[in-house]
Structures are given as C-alpha cells and as structure tokens.
Amino acid sequence: MQSPKLPTNERQRLDILSEYQLLDTLPEQDYDNITSLVATICDAPVSLITMLDKERNFFKSHHGVPFRESPRDISFCGHAILGDGPIFIIQDARLDERFTDNPLIEGANAIFYAGVPLVNPEGYALGTLCVFDHKPRILTDSQKNALITLGKQVVNSLELRRQNLKLQTAKDELTLHNIQLKKFASHVSHDLKSPLANIISLTHLLKDDLEGKHSDSSLEYLNYLEDSALILKDYIDGILLHYKADELLKEEREDIQLSVISEKISHLLLSKDDKLSYSGQDAIKNINKAALTQILINLVDNALKYNVSEKRLIEIAYVEEPKYHKFSISDNGIGIEKEKQDLIFNLFAIIPHENIKRSTGIGLSTIKNLVNKLGGDIGVTSEVGVGSVFTFTIAK
C-alpha cells in the first residue's frame, strides 16, 4: 500500500481549508442532498463529501456509511487531490499497487472509487466529492459528467459559505469598532463639557468684572472667546446626541402630558423675554417620551438660536392622527430661504446668516435620523423674516 503524498502546497492548503470552518461541523441538508443524488445517478452504495484535514478525512456528508471520518494515510481521496484531471477513478482497488493491503478494501469492501477534487478558485484542493462501490465497475460518460458538475456545485456552495463567514467577521469587527468609537466619543465629550462650561462662565464673569474698565478691543476679544466656546459646546452636544440617538429608541413607551414637557423645556432653554406655548391635545398616549423630549429640545433650541426678535415666540402643537402622532414647532425667527430648506437636514449642512452665530450642522441631521427610526418623517415650511414651522410625525 502506498500512503498518498502531501500536496506541495499542503501548509497553505490547510490554512485555506480552515477559512471555511467545515471541520467537525454537523451535517447540513444541502450537502446531504448532493451525496444522495450522486449515489442515485452513479448507482453507488456510498457517496461522500470529504474535507482533507492534516491527518484525517472529515466527511461533511456521508451517504451509505455510519462513520464521519477516516485516516488520511489510507484514503483514496488523498490520492485523488493529487491528480491534474477533473475526476480520479479506480476501477478495482485490489489490482492497483497503491491500494494493495489497504484496510478499506477488507474493512469497508471499497473496491471501486471515483472522486472529483473540490478545487477552490485559488487552486487549492480542499477535498472530494466521491462514490464507492463494493465491486469493480465503469462509470458511463453521463455519470462522470454528472459527478464533475455536482462537484462544481459543492465548490460553489463552499465559496458562498466562505464569503458569508468573511462578511460576518467584517460585520462583527465593524460593530465592535462602532461600539468603541461610540464609547470614545461619549467619554471625551463628557470630559470636555465641564472645562468648557467653566470657560463660558469665567468669560461672563470677566466681562461683568471689567465692565466700563476695558477697551472696546478687549470686549471684542472676550466676545470672540465666548462665541468660540459656545460653538464648541454645540459640537459636543451634537456629538452626544448623535451617539445617544440609538439608545433613546430602546426606551419604553408611556403616556405623557405635552404641557409638562413644554414647561420643562421652558425652564431649560428660555430667557425671561421668551415665550413657549403649546396647543392641541395635551394628553398623548403610548409614545417614547425620552426620544420625543430630545427632538423637541433640539427643535426649540434651534428656534431660539435662529431668532433675532426682541421677544422670541415658539409654539408646540400636537394633533393625533390614525397612524401617527403629529407635532409642529413654529417660531417668529429669521426664516429659511425656500431653495435651502431641503439642505438643512443634511449632516454638517450650515446656512450662514450675518446676525446668527455659526452652527455645527449636526443637530437637525441627527433629529431627522431619529424621527425616521421612530417610523415618521420631518419637514419644514418657512418664510424669510416671518418664521419657520418644523413638522414631524412619530408612528403609533
């Protein structure tokens, strides 16, 4: 008996084989269907899909035998993967010196063998699709062609599996990377908020302390410092909201009162000369309170920011529709030019205005994404010099 030699690329072949994650896996119906079909076409009692591991043949599918592996050093498949042709046939193993005294002849009555090497796109023979019979025989041309064709089908199936595994690995790595990035952004943003708040507070104190004692240029420098700090604060708040949005979606739905939320927003954002009112139905049933509150806070904050009126007026309105909760936030702000109204929901989109401090272009994009994930939509109607109305829906 001659044990099959190892391919010259054996080390690389084994590395490639591991990418398919097939060894020691459970039977799968798709592969079992192929071995059953091959056995029928070739009129053979045994059909196998084998993967050649370092020291064994692992049977991914085994039709006609109860065991799932055999030693590689006595295998017929070990010889089959060394051939250059599309199919390797032994008509009578008892008459072939390579298989003289092979235990499979005596123990498994393996007399006839035909195997198709399963060669992947890189040219590595991973194993075989093969049939055994207990007597000498010859396959017809149609049986050979069918065996070769089904071997290609096995390779296609293996490649699909391999690509899916690679995609899943890439997806898992991307998910992990996003989680790490989210933690990093959240951690850094929170750490920056405290010293930034101190800078803003100290700037106010310094301006008050130096009132009437400093030059116009000193006041201008302090104003620049304050504006820069406020812009940086907006960036940090935008980043936190961007990464917080998905967490808000997980919050439970509950019954709320719009008047209560409006009052909290007033205390949080409005100065003494501003007015926030609400209209429509006060009680709202079965809604994500956390997400709604965050959306309203950002839209009210925007309405205040883009408003140069002496008395800034904002109204929150609610209408219950059959399939949606519908909200609108109207203001008496500077308004938005019609051709620019579709742009404001794009990430980092900024509409400059000479009387308004520079924005970050993060908030409205994040709000639109949040509204969409809540099953709704958001839009705006506006008139320059009159004000804007932002309308959004949330699915019930």
In a domain, 264, yes or no: yes
Mark whether 58 and 153 lie in a shared domain. yes
CATH number of the domain enclosing 364 = 3.30.565.10
Distances (CA, A) of 320 to 16, 273, 286, 373: 59, 31, 12, 19
**Could you tell me if residue 5 is inside a domain?**
no
* pLDDT at residue number 174: 85
Last-in-domain residue among 118, 150, 171: 171
In a domain, 315, yes or no: yes
Residue 31 sits in the same domain as residue 155 = yes
DSSP symbol at 335: -
By percentage, how much of the chain surpasses pLDDT 90? 62
149 and 274 both lie in a single domain = no
Q: Can you tell me the distance from the alpha carbon of 387 to that of 370, in angstroms, rounded to the nearest whole number?
A: 24
- Identify whether residues 25 and 164 lie together within a single domain: yes
pLDDT tens track, the chain, 396 positions? 899 999 999 999 999 999 999 999 999 999 999 999 999 999 999 999 999 999 999 999 999 999 999 999 999 999 999 988 999 999 999 999 999 889 999 889 999 999 999 999 999 999 999 999 999 999 999 999 999 999 999 999 999 999 999 999 889 888 877 776 666 666 666 666 666 677 777 676 766 766 666 656 666 666 666 666 666 666 666 666 666 777 788 888 999 999 999 999 998 888 888 999 989 989 999 999 989 998 999 899 889 988 989 899 999 999 999 999 999 999 999 999 888 888 888 877 676 666 666 566 677 888 998 999 999 999 999 999 999 999 999 999
At residue 236, the pLDDT reads 67
Q: Are 25 and 156 in the same domain?
A: yes
In a shared domain, residues 39 and 163: yes
Strands 313-320 and 275-280: parallel
Same domain, 166 and 271: no
Q: Are 175 and 142 in contact (CB under 8 A)?
A: no
Buried b / exposed e across 243-267, counting CB within 10 Å, b at 16+? bbbeebeeeeeeebebeebbeebbe
**pLDDT per residue as tens digits for the range 115-167:** 999 999 999 999 999 999 999 999 999 999 999 999 999 999 999 999 999 99
Residues 269, 165 within the same domain: no
Does 152 share its domain with 285? no
CA 264 vs CA 21, 134, 235, 306, 318: distances in Å: 56, 85, 23, 21, 17
Q: Give the pLDDT score at 137.
A: 95
Domain stop point among 171, 198, 224 = 171
In the sheet that holds 125-133, the strands lie side by side as 69-71, 56-63, 46-52, 125-133, 112-119, 88-90
Q: 369 is in which domain, residue-wise? A: 252-396
Q: Mean pLDDT across the chain, nearest whole number?
A: 87
From 147, 171, 195, the end of a domain falls on 171
How many distinct structural domains can be found in the chain? 2
Tens of pLDDT, residue by residue over 346-360, are: 877 676 666 666 566
Tell me how far apart the alpha carbons of residues 5 and 2 are, in angstroms, rounded to a whole number: 9
CB neighbours of residue 122 within 10 Å:
9
Residue 314 lies in a domain: yes
Within a domain: 232: no
